[in-house]
Amino acid sequence: MSVDKASGSGKTVPNEKGKAKIEEVRKLIGSAASNFQRECSDESIIMYLRAKNWNAKRAAKMLKETLKWRMEFKPDKIRWDDVAQEAATGKLYRANYVDKHGRTVIIMRPGQQHPSSVKDQIKCLVYCLENAIENLQNDQEQMVWLIDFENWNMACISVKITRETARILQDHYPERLGVAILYNPPVDVIFQQK
């Protein structure tokens, strides 16, 4: 391990080996690092390194893909007006409170799913993630997800959206999930499992 936990905080602090790995990733990324200061900060690079088991080449490749995705998808340009209609269902939002460790809380209610385009749903997800990251307390880098399955059934599943959601979370927001709590599971699904 190339980082230590800062005393009393949720953030990691690089030790000497960690600092060397961060610099190795920066060198592999090249000039793109200066255009994406938040994504190429020490804290962000540490998350990519942790996601790739401290392999600098793999972390740099993953981070380059994220920078390319950010240039194409432009998550920093998404505004409330762009997602307001999708967010009106209440299926995904940032709570106005934090958990006992000061982590931002995201509420997801897949049972509130309504027919809309994959693009609009993903845009709403990304807006919510970006907003949650912007609202993290200074000593935090992860968030909590509360996933409420009330009114959920198999008809709510969109494989395409599920796959794209997982890809975005894993590839472009690594190490951001602190804990996920799933509750109100549908009873019929629990008892059908064998």
What long-range pairs does 94-101 form, CB within 8 A, spacing at least 24? 94/128, 94/131, 94/132, 94/135, 95/146, 98/137, 99/144, 101/10, 101/140, 101/178
Specify the pTM: 0.83
**pLDDT over 60 at 26, yes or no:** yes
Give domain limits for the chain: 3-73, 77-192
Q: pLDDT tens digits, residue range 99-136?
A: 998 899 999 998 787 767 788 889 999 999 999 998 88
CATH code for the domain defined by 3-73: 1.10.8
Assess whether pLDDT exceeds 60 at residue 40. Answer: yes
CATH code assigned to 77-192: 3.40.525.10
Are the C-beta atoms of 26 and 14 separated by less than 8 Å?
Answer: no
